[in-house]
Amino acid sequence: MAAQGKPVLHGYFRSSCSWRVRIAFALKGIEYDQVPVSLVKDGGQQLTDQYKTVNPMQQVPAVTIDGITLSQSLAIIQYIDETRPGPRLLPADPQQRAQVRMISDLIASGIQPLQNLHVIQKIGAEKVQWAQHFINKGFNALESILKQTSGTYCVGNEISMADICLVPQVYNAERFKVDLDQYPTIKRINQTLMELEAFKVSHPTCQPDTPDDLRA
């Protein structure tokens, strides 16, 4: 499918879901424009009527690409994979592809939503303990799965959507002071991925909307 100009990513520098999409663009070598949507300024710019026309769920990311606007990071990543050349983000093998989707869903549905900003704001003083509890619960399951599926990366020896989901979630775990030494497979894969340029350039510390005090 022919591209209609550069894709436009509406996102937030520290949103793990936005980071996933930035990684996918980087791995595919796709140039794109960014429109920052601050989740904290002005009470949350994602809650404005203007942004609601972009994403009715009033979340980031949203991507305008090929004349359509997509939300939900995994749907965006899979669309990018299916319409753009470059390294596959989902394996050709059906069993490995299912494993990639399983791991991606475990993170994107089973861990991340329970410690995202919208939920944490409702928890109050217990937010760190809350986040640690659900991250540890998810990481215990994920560590067990990765011991069976991983090679160099989450599933075998090729980077996939599962790795794209893993790195931002580990970053969140570190923010909430989760002890990653409990999860040696997760820790090893994350360290390997963070040596790669696509994961470095997409990092929250070097985005257009990164505050100066958090910039690398």
Nearest to 10 by CA among 27, 1, 22: 22
Residues 75, 106 within the same domain: no
Q: Which residues pair with 69 in a beta bridge?
A: 64
Look at residue 208 and tell me if it is in a domain. no
Whole-angstrom distance, CA of residue 60 vs CA of residue 46: 7
Q: What percentage of residues in the chain have a pLDDT greater than 90?
A: 85
Count of structural domains within the chain = 2
Look at residue 2 and tell me if it is in a domain. no
Q: 2: pLDDT confidence band, cut at 50, 70 and 90? A: very low
> Count of residues for the chain?
216
* Displacement of CA 151 from its chain's centroid (Å): 21
Give me the chain's average pLDDT, please: 95
Q: 190: pLDDT confidence band, cut at 50, 70 and 90? A: very high
Residues 134, 195 within the same domain: yes
Residues 101, 169 within the same domain: yes
- Domain carrying residue 192: 94-199
pTM: 0.94
CATH code for the domain of 20: 3.40.30.10
